[in-house]
Amino acid sequence: MYVYSARQIRERLQLFQEAFSSPASTVCFAVKSNSSLAILRLLAQSGAGFDIVSGGELERVRRADKAALKRVVFSGAGKQVWEIDAALKAGILLFNVESEAELELLARRAEAAGVRARFALRVNPDVFADTHPYISTGLREHKFGIDIGLARAIYRKAAKSKWLEPAGVSVHIGSQIRTVDPFAAAVKRVADLVLELRRDGHSIHYLDAGGGLGIDYNDRLDRPHFDAAKKVRDYSAAVLRATAGLDAHLLLEPGRFVVAQAGALLTRVLFVKQNGAKTFVITDAAMNDLIRPALYQAHHEILPVVRRGKSQAVVDVVGPVCESGDFFARDREMQRSAPGDLLALLDAGAYGMAQSSNYNTRTRPAEVLVEGDKARLIRRRETLKDLLAGEIL
């Protein structure tokens, strides 16, 4: 099961809210990182807005806190008609538009709904972010955004439509970025574009700086503690320097940084198996429960829930799914395990449950939210009946 700390989620959100308290700003939590309704409600009640990328995520925000729909920005490169219609009806804050074709579709749907659609172009600043290639999004060869050099002409064309309101500019260069320099470079290019657009006669009120601030997945108990507050201060200083004097409402879209280190995946050891020189610790969790190690070669610290002595072993921690890629750690030195032991995979609050699946016809785990000395079930464990309910013979 997944276990989350409500206190840490609130504290991480507050770090952003305090760091960007001087100019007008809204912290829009990236729903894709963790879409559990109870967590979305917790964040909404703490004043967060939301960055969504689908109509399903829009519905999650509506169910978590209907009032928060006014603080939603809708990103994503492939918005469908029904999703645009639902967002227009909900009265969201802003559409982050990623292509000219999407902008034309947005105008048609706004006309059909009889409302004016407020939008920002997501521009591609061609800034390199040193992160995994699957989660880098700010270069010309990526599918996201519009070439920043084409933006002025597109805004000029959009301004002629009475159904479109050019209101902002958006940028997002990737995820799990550990240094602030790429953010500063990207936001500075966007800030310069905002000034050009204003000179062209557009009323640009919003600058969406995106998300992507990374965490330390290697933060072990025997190493210096990850200073989250300093990371956010450094990030805000870079963004605020790049936007100094711009007088724009900043939109920030953190996801991983808010929830990743607030969550852990608990799993039970099924077997310990020796194959030649290799030792495998086989757990009841698998890649369908947490795909990040298989998909991104990501590192998650793994600790025993109960510590027993100091005996260590070098092992592979693997799941029961029928794929060689079903692993959580390879050649990892850790406390010797025995069947029945509980292990905690740390920093699993982001892109864990949100990316889970039913591969191998496996049911998904439960989720629990810890608040003070109380633990509350926020998603019951899935059953085989749940899994098969939608199928027709």
Within-domain flag for 195: yes
Query: What tokens were used for 334?
Result: 């850790």
- Confidence check: pLDDT of 221 > 60: no
Bigger pLDDT: 355 or 310? 355
In the predicted model, what is the mean pLDDT of residues 348-370?
A: 98
Distance CA 246, CA 170 (A): 15
Point out the catalytic residue in the list 322, 389, 392, 393: 322
Q: What per-residue confidence (pLDDT) applies to 274?
A: 95
Identify whether residues 368 and 340 lie together within a single domain. yes
Q: What per-residue confidence (pLDDT) applies to 310?
A: 82
355 phi and psi, to 5 degrees?
A: -105, 10
362: containing domain: 261-382
Angle ∠(110,33,358) on CA atoms, nearest 5? 100
User: 223-227: long-range contacts (C-beta < 8 A, 24 or more apart)?
Assistant: 226/261
- Confidence check: pLDDT of 116 > 50: yes
C-alpha separations of 315 from 70, 92, 310, 332, 363 in Å: 49, 49, 15, 5, 26
The CATH number of the domain holding residue 354 is 2.40.37.10
Q: What per-residue confidence (pLDDT) applies to 388?
A: 98
Within-domain flag for 206: yes
Which of 205, 220, 254 is the C-terminal boundary of a domain? Answer: 254
Which of 228, 254, 280 is the C-terminal boundary of a domain? Answer: 254
Identify whether residues 329 and 247 lie together within a single domain. no
Please report, as a single letter, which amino acid is at residue 244: A
The CATH number of the domain holding residue 171 is 3.20.20.10
- Confidence check: pLDDT of 190 > 50: yes
Residues constituting the chain:
393
Identify whether residues 180 and 315 lie together within a single domain. no
Within-domain flag for 8: no
Q: What per-residue confidence (pLDDT) applies to 225?
A: 64
Instruction: Lowest mean pLDDT of 75-79, 132-136, 179-183, 346-350, name the range.
Output: 132-136
Within-domain flag for 37: no
- Confidence check: pLDDT of 131 > 80: no
Identify whether residues 245 and 274 lie together within a single domain. no
Please report, as a single letter, which amino acid is at residue 346: L
Quick one: CA torsion of 25, 29, 30, 31, rounded to 10 degrees? Answer: -140
Q: What per-residue confidence (pLDDT) applies to 368?
A: 98
Confidence of residue 128 (pLDDT cuts 50, 70, 90): low
Q: How many domains does the chain have?
A: 2
Within-domain flag for 224: yes
Angle ∠(35,104,124) on CA atoms, nearest 5? 60
Q: What is the mean pLDDT of the chain?
A: 93
Secondary structure element (H or E) that encloses residue 55, with its range: helix 55-64
Identify whether residues 230 and 336 lie together within a single domain. no
Q: What per-residue confidence (pLDDT) applies to 127?
A: 72
Please indicate whether residue 322 is annotated as part of the active site: yes
Confidence of residue 175 (pLDDT cuts 50, 70, 90): confident
Identify whether residues 285 and 352 lie together within a single domain. yes
- Confidence check: pLDDT of 367 > 80: yes
State the pairing for strand pair 72-74/49-52. parallel
Model confidence over 266-286: pLDDT tens digits? 999 999 999 999 999 999 999
Please report, as a single letter, which amino acid is at residue 7: R
Within-domain flag for 154: yes
Helix residue spans in 177-286 (DSSP H): 181-199, 228-242, 256-259
CB 248 within 8 A of CB 194: yes
- Confidence check: pLDDT of 220 > 60: no
Confidence of residue 177 (pLDDT cuts 50, 70, 90): confident
- Confidence check: pLDDT of 223 > 70: no
